[in-house]
Chains A and B, each alone.
Chain A
């Protein structure tokens, strides 16, 4: 089955700086890669996703890049703000490949220092 590795486990950045979180996946058939943000006491919430026919996607301060050859994808957050502090999860799955569910990484605790 799919295996998703995520790094780093904790990331502390100064407010206003950029943050980058990286993930690798093992199943070359995976073609859907979402990123979820989980705040304390809440369920995960989708912040951005990318499909394998696209190399990069951007939404305001958030961008995701995908390298299918190397089987890795990254989340980039620019101009970080205090409300960006949370745990971020990457995930992978096969669209149209049956109901295998999402395979999540172990998460990155992002801390924004004022």
Chain B
């Protein structure tokens, strides 16, 4: 177990709705990254938060947004849901400020289904 917890584990939404996913990082980790993993694919980088600010973003539209709180926990918000947003959303924490500088500790993910 990595100590990264995500909620909810599963949820179903309809097109056009909004969703908020939550992540508690491992103790001592100040950086949180979010990844989208479509079925049968590798994870895709959405964005990273460090010290409560977004400091890196992948190729995702602005309707994907996030927050990081003073206790380093994080939220991923997706507005105007589309069918293609159906995926496993993974949160990863790390103790360093830059993505890719070391090991990422992943949670078990939130499985989102958009109908």
Contact = CB atoms under 8 A, between A and B. Distances in A.
B115 interface: no
User: Which size class do B's interface residues fall under?
Assistant: 20 to 34
Interface stretch (A53-61, A65-73, A90-98): A90-98
A103 B108 CA distance: 19
B56 A98 contact: yes
Contacts of A102: 43, 45, 99-100, 104
> 3 shortest A-B CB distances, which residue pairs?
A99-B56, A101-B45, A93-B100
Interface string B42-57: 1111111010000110
A1 B57 CA distance: 12
Contacts of A4: 42
Interface string B24-46: 00000000010100001111111
A45 interface: yes
A38 B4 CA distance: 15
A44 B106 contact: yes
Contacts, number: 78
Contacts of A100: 45, 56, 58, 99-100
Interface residues of A, number: 30
Interface in A64-113: 89, 91, 93-107
16 contacts: A34-B103, A36-B106, A42-B108, A43-B90, A43-B108, A44-B104, A98-B56, A99-B50, A99-B98, A100-B56, A100-B58, A101-B45, A102-B45, A104-B42, A107-B41, A107-B42
A34 B4 CA distance: 19
B109 interface: yes
B17 interface: no
Contact of B99 (A1, A46, A99): A99
B4 A43 contact: yes
A32 B100 contact: yes
B107 interface: yes
A106 B58 CA distance: 17
Given A43-B109, A93-B100, A103 B45 contact: yes
